[in-house]
Amino acid sequence: MTAPALQALFDQGTPTPEQIQTFVESNGPFPIYADGQATFVFVGAADSVRWQHYIFGLPTSQEFNRLEGTDLWHLTVQLRKMSRIEYKLLIDYGDNAVLIRDPLNPLRARDPYGANSVCATAGYERPEWTWPSETTRAGRMETHKIYSEALGEDRYIQVYKPARFRESCRYPLLVVHDGTDYQRFSAFKIVLDNLIHRLEIPPMIVAFTDPGDRLREYAADPRHAKHIVEEVIPELEAHYNLEERALSRCIMGASFGGVASLSTAWRYPKAFGKLLLQSGSFAFTDIGTHHRGPAFDPVVEFMNEFRKSPGRPAEKIYMSCGIYESLIYENRSMVPLLQECGISVRFEEARDGHNWENWRDRLRGGLSWLFPGPLWMIYE
């Protein structure tokens, strides 16, 4: 089944290049979404065109159909409402194949590796609180350089100070793994400015940290936990008037950053009262071996140990994960385990994948539940 507009083009017989151009101009941007189906279109000479997507559970690569006698290629797939999917097109020219963003789709999502095209189905909109606002007063960023004895190298910490910051006030603390990427690809500073301005979260100090060798350091490395708790926290306490209660302190991260957050709180159970874990790479084995590659070996070792003896790494934990991620099973399985330990857990799923904009869209839900501001104090 194809989109009605495309079917109407087919019904004309073999369309001319001019008719194809008119169709593209009249019906774009693509994909066209209707009745639970998305229709992708590509126009150009090629030997084959494939849709390369990031949806766990579907074949990663799906082939377009070519309208005979033309350079028009099309693919129609079933997609749920309120879905957000990142993808590329694999164009095969015979001697070589290239992976490109969809030329007929202006929607883009950036990440550390470049950018992807985005298919957003009916019901999905980028949250308005993720956009810059002229009426929102902006916080300030400061940079601290410290030498880490635990890691044997210099580290830089970017610290967010809220608008209307006062030296005499005490502030909650949020420590963010992959801090630079969260700012670049998840609009984190903009989100903080907006949510604080709207009284959805209280003013807070936010420390954006970055790794060296990320896959090694974030894979439950005890040296990293020591660096955060015994080096970063004292540096922040020396420069900012922070609330001392563990419940006023949170550590967060996504993917391997989620593992680093959990392992740090587990190794230092009184350091943080709250965790914000997004699409955590919580791979484990109940029997046999895992199949995620050698980078996950220390993660699996830690997670197996954690599942045997979770302790109480925090009092409140917010978790989120996309249902189109391969990690959805592991994240779902963590919820009852944590709740059995007496931890208050909120878990949110979204029709999205393992990407920075999924994590961006969940920030309001996580931050406002962990740190409810005056707005929620009044209306909840």
pLDDT in tens, 167-183: 999 999 999 999 999 99
Residues in the chain: 380
Give, in order, the Cα–Cα distances in Å from 88 to each of 95, 108, 240, 321, 323.
20, 10, 45, 22, 20
If you average pLDDT over residues 157-174, what whole number do you get? 97
> What's the pLDDT score for residue 95?
85
pLDDT in tens, 306-346: 999 999 999 999 999 999 999 999 999 999 999 999 999 99
Query: Within 10 Å of residue 20's Cβ, how many Cβ atoms?
Result: 17
99 beta partners: 90
If you average pLDDT over residues 22-40, what whole number do you get? 92
The two tokens of residue 167 are 């030296």
- Buried b / exposed e along 348-380 (16+ C-beta atoms within 10 A): ebbbbbbbbbbbbbbbbbbbbbbbbbeeeeeee
Percent of the chain with pLDDT over 90: 88
CATH superfamily of 128-379: Alpha/Beta hydrolase fold, catalytic domain (3.40.50.1820)
pTM of the model: 0.94
| DSSP-based three-state secondary structure for 358 | helix
The two tokens of residue 262 are 């959990």
- Report the chain's mean pLDDT, rounded to a whole number: 95
Structure confidence at residue 376 as a pLDDT band (50, 70, 90):
low
pLDDT in tens, 281-306: 999 998 888 989 999 999 999 999 99
Domain range summary for the chain, segments of one domain joined by +: 4-120, 128-379
Tell me the CATH number for domain 4-120: 2.60.40.10
Q: Higher-confidence residue: 56 or 361?
A: 361
Evaluate if residue 112 carries a pLDDT over 80: yes
- In 3D space, the residue among 261, 194, 183, 276 whose CA is nearest the CA of residue 229 turns out to be 261
Give, in order, the Cα–Cα distances in Å from 351 to each of 51, 119, 304.
18, 12, 28
Evaluate whether 116 touches 109 at the Cβ level (below 8 Å): yes
If you average pLDDT over residues 368-379, what whole number do you get? 82
Query: What ranges in 170-273 are assigned the alpha helix state H?
Result: 179-186, 188-197, 214-217, 222-226, 233-239, 256-267
If you average pLDDT over residues 184-205, what whole number do you get? 98
Q: Higher-confidence residue: 245 or 377?
A: 245
